[in-house]
Structure 1
Amino acid sequence: MNGFHGHVLAASSTDVDLTGGNLTLVVVVGVIALVAVAMAIRFRAEVLAAPDGTESMKAIGLAVQEGAAAYLARQFRTLGVFAVIAFLFLLVLPADDTSVRIGRSLFFLVGAGFSAAIGYLGMWLAVRANVRVAAAARDEGRDPAMRVAFRTGGVVGMATVGLGLLGAAVVVIIYRSDAPTVLEGFGFGAALLAMFMRVGGGIFTKAADVGADLVGKVENNIPEDDPRNAATIADNVGDNVGDCAGMAADLFESYAVTLVAALILGKVAFGAEGLVFPLIVPAIGALTAILGIYLCRPRVGENGLTTINRAFYISAAVSAVACSIAAFVYLPTDFDGLTDLPEGGSLIESVIGVGSAGLDGNPALIATLSVLIGIVLAAAILALTGYYTGTENRPTQDVGKTSLTGPATVILSGMSLGLESAVYTALVIGAAVFGAFLVGGASVTVALFAVALAGCGLLTTVGVIVAMDTFGPVSDNAQGIAEMSGDVDGEAAAILTELDAVGNTTKAITKGIAIATAVLAATALFGAFSDAIVGASQDLEGMQDADLGSNELLALFGVLNVADPANLVGLLIGAATVFLFSGLLISAVGRAAGAVVFEVRRQFRDIPGIMEGTGRPEYGKVVDICTRDSLRELATPGLLAILTPIAVGFGLGPGPLGAFLAGSIGAGTLMAVFLANSGGAWDNAKKLVEDGHHGGKGSQAHEATIIGDTVGDPFKDTAGPAINPLLKVMNLVALLVAAAVVQMTYGEDSNTSLRIVIALVCVAIIAAAIVISKRRSVVIGDDAPPAAPGDHREPTPTAPTL
């Protein structure tokens, strides 16, 4: 590769001719998407055919099913308001023509609908599979139980890749050259719904989990899923609406948005082939995901995580070989062989002084190496996250050892582990981004397309990754149902404990890979955002191609010149938004968990016979508390994600908006990994103690790890994972408003007063939402109920109502 030299590519508005063989390949991709959906239906039938346990298990499972379905129904009604507003917002934004603008808005609804459907599907099956996993462990043994749990994940994984590919393929077939613009709406819909589902489900699940642990395990010394604890049903419901529905929607939007970024840049970089090859890669991944799911068969005496990792690595290796072959069969070995590759110069590359002699480089080799970088990145993060959070590795074992000296050292060791692991994970992701950028060094546009192709390479593993993620909450719920029913003990109970620990690690791994996709997609989207800003200026008075290099707006990578105070402010706001977003979610969990704590204490105090097992807790009241508090907390983080980039863009200009995105990507990457890995290590350190280490259950060491785990719960399952869709939502909003920002800042009809008014309105809405959020009661104050009988701790000090 020859660096940034030679011929440059056309601006993103250039038409390409998608006919003949290229169109046929897109149709084939659509067929593969339908095959993936068909496999999801088949795996679903296999899961539902498994025995569903004893009558006691069925009764508990039914309560979880009803709670999860009721929560999601209320959540979707709430989110419908946001969807309508966003639909109208997209309708008024400029586009090449009316049909494209309408298509972008309609496919926003499709993307949002697919994201919601994936989330609901994940929840619906998980709440039925958990009973079957428990029954399989009791009646058949470890291997059948693991098979049911992983096949449940396989259903969600195949549905994710199937619907993601289907949506992208249909848009490309219908809109051809305009597909990237329409796909902006598709990706925005997927990301917006996923963020809300991730936020709401995360608050629900961790409020119930924290409340159940603090009152049950710490204060009353009863097991985690003891039926005497009124929060246990809510805890199991939360696993499904948070870890299954929320994470499934999250990974679907990662899939959709990465495809959006790849197709936007692919059209510019590779012409017609650039609209097709990014679809071929994940189509291959859909087929290899089927292989990976079938390969997940444990060997005698083998740890469950080893089994899952082997299936992942084999499917990833097959994907790497197949994608390499596809690249050299489909793509030419020089740029002259690409079709519909215009001779004009890209505005971006004109700005930074790239020449216009012919493009050097091998498109097939560029594509192959980029995809391989993405696949290797997924494998590297799997290994790195597994090392820091797995129970068999030293980092988590060291956190467990600190339990001998109390909860403070547990928390300190977990935080230090999270901070350290975030650095190494960020370096690995950064190396992948920069490596792909260097591979595509024929031009800036090709380099950014290479980054997007690395994201597509990572997408080849998504089917197995989603299966790994869903495996976690299904195993967790299976253990809970087994314990609550009292029908599982001995070896079967040990099997479910092992699968639960494996699930904790797989959940941490999938969170790491999800944030990697967010960084790759955000980097590629940043390239699309830059091209949109430069392209929007093309027709402005006094900004013709010959003048671009001297204009402050269009000195493109001067957009990130932090010597400019406005850009530095934008950078800081971007980083600060990630911190504020995380703080809001952790605070929301704290408020909701406080309400759960007081409700569970009240029931222990007021309902006769609970501790003796003769009184029945009021499980529904805790479910109602978690549902109410999680849904009322949705608006504030959602408004922050949508309105902050609008406020920065119109208030400070396009340069600071670019810096804002850079700041959010940097801070978001580190924060998300820190939160996910520290939380995962705390959770598995607790599992180590519960397995008999350092005094075992009921010891002071156990109590210390429980406290660490309750701190980590909102870290790893609420704030950390929600940063992933946050980054994509903010990048897509910036991309969507880029043209309007340029027009109102530098156009003939520029209106500084109107820009400032828009920015101030956005800031005022965000500030009002935060103030309202902070005024909500945490149920701590003069009206707090007294402690439950047998609770000899000091009374909670009176605190001001927040």
Structure 2
Amino acid sequence: MNQELIPLVVGGLGLLMALIIFMVVNKMPAGEGKVKEIAQQIHEGAMVFMRREYTLLLIFVVVIVIGLYLGFGDWHTPFAFVLGAFCSGIAGYFGMFAATKANVRTTVAANEHGAAKALSVAFYGGSIMGLTVAAMGLLGLGALYMMFGADPHTVESIHGFGMGASVVALFSRVGGGIFTKSADVGADLVGKIEAGIPEDDPRNPGVIADNVGDNVGDVAGMGSDIFESYCGSMIACIAIASTMSVGLYSQIAERQQDLMFLPLALSSTGLLCSVLGIFLVNMFSSKKPDVALRFGTMGATVLFIIAAYFTIHALGISTQVWQCVLLGAVGGMIIGLVTEYYTGGKPVRDIAKGGETGPATVMIAGLAVGMESVVVPVITLAGIILGTSILLPEGAGVYGVGIAAVGMLATVGITMAIDAYGPVADNAGGIAEMANLGAETRAITDGLDEVGNTTAAIGKGFAIGAAGLAALAIIAAFIQVISNQVDGFSLDIGNPKVLMGMFLGGIFPFIVSAMTMRAVGDAAFDMIKEIRRQFKEIPGLMEGTASPDSKKCVDIATKAALRRMMGPGALAVAAPVVVGFGLGAAALGGMLGGALITCVLLALTMANAGGAWDNAKKYVEKGNLGGKGSDVHTAVVVGDTVGDPFKDTSGPAMNILINVMAIVSLVIAPLLAKMPYGIFA
């Protein structure tokens, strides 16, 4: 078989496997009566949001396609851009569609068969998202590589695929994050604190919107987030390898084409290992949920590390490159374990204990945990960069960074499966509560949800680390493309333009964080007013004899998300264009460096602080420190409410922000090379 067909074949197999699993899940009992009605409301709300979001996104895509065609004067880059947006959109839509079908089936399985069956259903629901993300990435990039990869004059067109994926990711993650957190904050503040009713109580008008948000934010949004990092790391490696000098690549490989193809080969290997990992989780589903999930994740990673050695050897590439892959894979595990500690270990209990003296100490403790949690992941990323520079010849270290990112992301099939499992389990618990299925069923779904919270937090940490490495590789590719066409180009910190660019880059993460936090706050304000109105004006709602108008709350969250996601999206795409053509390539390179560092630090702080606040609330709700209804509970609910937009809106937006800025810069690099000093030089 022609080796270039491998990504297409493996991608096709991954998509077929996702379809088979979906058919298996869809044949499982979906419940009757109240259970079925609630599930249908969640499904319809999620699909309506996605259709409206994608309609707006289509307009944005058309505008960019026109700009790319006018800039490049051919169809190659615009076609790659459209294909990237299409593949990302399909992965998000299908994965979320499957998740909204799996949630109610998880509830029924918990009610009728117990914890092991419920775990299998929930995990299968998440694995559809994971396999679809990996498969669509391989199919899209594999097809473009066959079309453009062999010709050095057209290979740069592949960069457009990453830009398309990044634009969809930004809208999906930001829009979904605003939706889910405005609903979650509104439902919690009025329901838990003011009305004193449980989470997911059917009397609360905001509960359906909250459950819809879990899908549009944590399934479709997270999937598109990982998809763009997954594809971005491969694109960066192809770009770096294509610009390597003959003397440099010959030191680590027999052929330059093999170095370009390697990221696709490794990702194909990783998808096969992910499928095996998914079956491992199912085999061990009778064990504790966290044991089964950990076994599948670690098993897939170990299998990939072994298989990657033989893949690299078969392509005639040096063992040092495999060692870079090893660094990336191990680094991903370290970041995941550190995140697990800070969002599920002793720091969480310390935050909960802070609730004994009120919300202020909960906030202080949570922020301290978030800031401290940055240290080990960043040292790990620095270690990966140092390690690759030592392993590979001088000048090839940037390729090693890209391959390390590929190594970290190659098993994205199971990594994303475990992350998407969380919102499926969360929805299953909400449906059980709203349908009054009893304490025993709720205990099972709560156990799955508790593990899901931890896996979601680990997924966020992993996504941040992967996005940081992928963005660094893309930035390195951008520098390489400019350097090959502009004599003497470098990013020297002594250059005032580079230094100015670094400070400019540091601004953008704070602007986008402010925009997204304010969007959640404003939308939550509208949501709170509506929930209060319904409790006040609908007779019998608090007594449980009347039904809330859930569609009104879904509509409020939808309109807020769609209105507020446009600003960050436009800013991320326009900033590199304005700075690059206005101030020059050096200023743009500095801006990317400043944005990268600030994004990673801010993302880790917000994601881990938010995750720790969330689990501190759940720790108290399990009966510790006074349990539900106590003053401590009120304090940790406040912490969780602040943490919600931290971990699910603004924090995740940082991953995508830096990748969008980096990939847009890489796409326009050939145009910048023609006027490297900018209009205002």
TM-score by length of 2: 0.96
Residue of structure 2 equivalent to 1:173: 146
CA contact (8 A) 1:266 1:278 kept: no
Q: 2: CA distance between counterparts of 1:112 and 1:309?
A: 32
Deviations 1:497-549 (A, max 9, x none): 11111111111111111111211111111111112222332xxxxxxxxxx45
User: Does residue 418 of structure 2 align to residue 453 of structure 1?
Assistant: no
- 2:334 alignment counterpart: 380
Q: Cα deviation per residue 1:72-105 (whole Å; 9 max; x = unaligned)?
A: 11111111111001111211224xxx6xx41211
Amino acid paired to 1:389? T
Confirm or deny that 1:595 pairs with 2:521.
Answer: no
**Structure 1, residues 549-588: CA drift from partner, whole Å, max 9, x if none?**
5xxxx2x1xx241x43332221011111111111110110
Alpha-carbon distance in 2 for matches of 1:675, 1:686: 17
- 1:772-799 CA-to-partner distances (Å, cap 9, x unmatched) read xxxxxxxxxxxxxxxxxxxxxxxxxxxx
Counterpart AA for 2:45? G
Does residue 1:408 correspond to 2:360, yes or no?
yes
Aligned with 1:327 (options 312, 329, 337): 312
Letter in 1 for 2:553: V
Alignment pair present for 1:651 and 2:603: no
Query: 2:82 aligns to what?
Result: 109
Instruction: Name 1:485's counterpart in structure 2.
Output: 435
Quick one: distance in 1 between partners of 2:671 and 2:123? 47
2-side partners of 1:437 and 1:77: how far apart? 44
CA displacement at 1:609 relative to structure 2: 0.9
Aligned partner of 1:225 in structure 2 is 200
2:456 to 495, 504, 507: 507
Alignment partner, residue 253 of structure 2: none
Cα offset for 1:67? 0.8
**Match of residue 470 from structure 2:** 521
Letter of the 2:216 counterpart: V
From 701, 704, 709, the equivalent of 2:632 is 701
Report the 3-state secondary structure (helix = DSSP H, G, I; strand = E; otherwise coil) of the residue aligned with 1:744.
Answer: coil
Residues 54 and 135 in structure 1, CA contact (< 8 A), matched pair in contact too: no
Is the 2:163–2:667 contact (alpha carbons within 8 Å) kept by the matching residues of 1? no
Query: Residue 180 of structure 1 contacts residue 260 of structure 1 at CA under 8 Å; is this kept in 2?
Result: no
Cα distance per residue 1:157-185 (max 9 Å; x no partner):
11111111111111111122346412111
Q: Residue in 2 aligned with 1:246?
A: 221
Query: Matches of 1:466 and 1:424 in 2, distance apart?
Result: 23
Report if aligned partners of 1:172, 1:275 keep a CA contact under 8 Å in 2: no
- The reply on whether 1:690 has 2:621 as its aligned counterpart is yes
Residue of structure 1 aligned with 2:41, choices 63, 75, 78? 63
Shift of 1:434: 2.2
Q: Structure 1 pair 301/164, CA: closer, same or farther in 2 (3 Å)?
A: closer
Where does residue 777 of structure 1 map in the other structure? none
Q: Tell me if the contact between 1:665 and 1:727 (Cα under 8 Å) persists in the aligned partners.
A: yes
Q: Partner of 1:501: helix, strand, or coil?
A: helix
Shift of 1:301: 8.1
Corresponding residue of 2:343:
389
State the distance in 1 between where 2:589 and 2:383 align: 22
**1:289 has 2:264 as partner:** no
- Does the alignment pair 1:40 with 2:14? no
Cα 1:420–1:636 shift into 2, 3 Å: same
Secondary structure of 2:29's partner? coil
Q: Which secondary structure does the structure 2 equivalent of 1:143 belong to?
A: helix
Aligned AA for 2:350? Answer: D
Distance, in Å, in 2 between the alignment partners of 1:572 and 1:301 is 53
Q: Are 1:663 and 2:594 an aligned pair?
A: yes
Aligned residue runs from structure 1 range 538-557, under 5 A: 548-549=487-488, 554=489, 556=490
- Counterparts of 2:216 and 2:363, CA distance in 1: 27
Shift of 1:443: 2.9
Distance (Å, rounded) in 2 between the aligned partners of 1:74 and 1:618: 21
- 8 Å Cα contact 2:301/2:411 also seen in 1: yes
Matching residue within 413, 419, 423 for 1:469: 419
CA contact (8 A) 2:332 2:466 kept: no
Q: 1:578 aligns with which of 487, 509, 526?
A: 509
SS in 1 for 2:243: helix
- Amino acid in the other structure paired with 2:55: R
Q: Corresponding residue for 1:118?
A: 91
The letter of the residue matching 1:284 is T
Superposed counterparts of 1:558-637, under 5 Å: 559-561=491-493, 563-637=494-568
The residue identity in structure 2 corresponding to 1:264 is A
Kept after mapping to 1: 8 A contact 2:188/2:641: yes
Partner of 1:194: 169
> Do structure 1's residue 87 and structure 2's residue 65 form an aligned pair?
yes
Aligned CA RMSD, in angstroms, stands at 1.6
Distance 1:653 1:106 in 2: 27
In structure 1, distance between residues paired with 2:435 and 2:420: 23
Match of 1:310 in 2: 295
Give the partner amino acid of 2:113.
E
Percent of aligned pairs with the same amino acid: 40
Q: 1:741 offset after TM fit, Å?
A: 3.2
Q: Where does residue 651 of structure 2 map in the other structure? A: 720
Match of 1:258 in 2: 233
State the 1:369 CA deviation: 0.5
Would you say the 8 A contact 2:95–2:132 is kept in 1? no
Q: Offset of 1:320 from its aligned partner?
A: 0.3
- CA–CA distance in structure 2, aligned partners of residues 47 and 436 of structure 1: 43
Contact 1:267 1:273 in 2 (8 A): no
Counterparts of 1:99-178 in structure 2, within 5 Å, are 101-175=74-148, 176-178=150-152
User: 2:126 & 2:17 partners in 1: Cα distance?
Assistant: 12
CA deviation vs aligned residue, 1:456-502 (integer Å, no higher than 9, x gap): 11122211111011111001111011100112x23321111111111
Match of residue 187, structure 2, among 212, 219, 241 = 212
Distance across 1 between alignment mates of 2:672 and 2:146: 31
The CA distance in 2 between the partners of 1:140 and 1:397, in whole Å, is: 33
Question: 8 Å contact 1:298–1:304 — kept in the other structure?
Answer: no
Whole-angstrom CA distance in 2 between matches of 1:66 and 1:79: 20
Q: Which of the residues 377, 382, 386 maps onto 1:425?
A: 377
Structure-2 change in CA distance of 1:658 and 1:300 (3 Å): closer
- Pair 1:272-2:257 in alignment: yes
1:679-705 Cα shifts (integer Å, max 9, x gaps)? 111111111111111111111111111
Per-residue CA deviation, residues 178-222 of structure 1 (Å, 9 max, x unaligned), is 464121111100011011010000000000000000000010110
* TM-score (normalizing by structure 1): 0.82
Greater CA radius of gyration, 1 or 2? Answer: 1
Contact kept in structure 2, 1:187 and 1:253, CA below 8 Å:
yes
Structure 2 distance, partners of 1:261, 1:122, is 26
How much has 1:299 moved relative to structure 2? 5.3
8 Å CA contact 1:396, 1:684 repeated in 2 = yes
Q: How big is the shift at 1:736?
A: 2.3
Work out the CA distance in 1 between the residues paired with 2:10 and 2:329. Answer: 20
Change (3 A) 1:745 1:255: closer
How many residue pairs are counted as aligned between the two chains? Answer: 669
- Secondary structure (helix, strand or coil) at the match of 1:173 reads helix
Q: Hey, what's the Cα distance between the residues in 2 that align with 1:226 and 1:751?
A: 59
C-alpha deviation, 1:300, in angstroms: 8.6
2:513 maps to 1:535: no
1:435 to 369, 376, 387: 387
String of CA shifts for 1:135-170, please: whole Å, max 9, x gaps: 111110101101111111111111111111111111
8 Å CA contact retained: 1:243, 1:470: yes
Asked if structure 1 preserves the Cα contact closer than 8 Å seen for 2:297 and 2:414, the reply is yes
Aligned to 1:365: 319
**1:745 offset after TM fit, Å?**
4.7
Q: Distance in 2 between the 1:566 and 1:266 partners?
A: 28
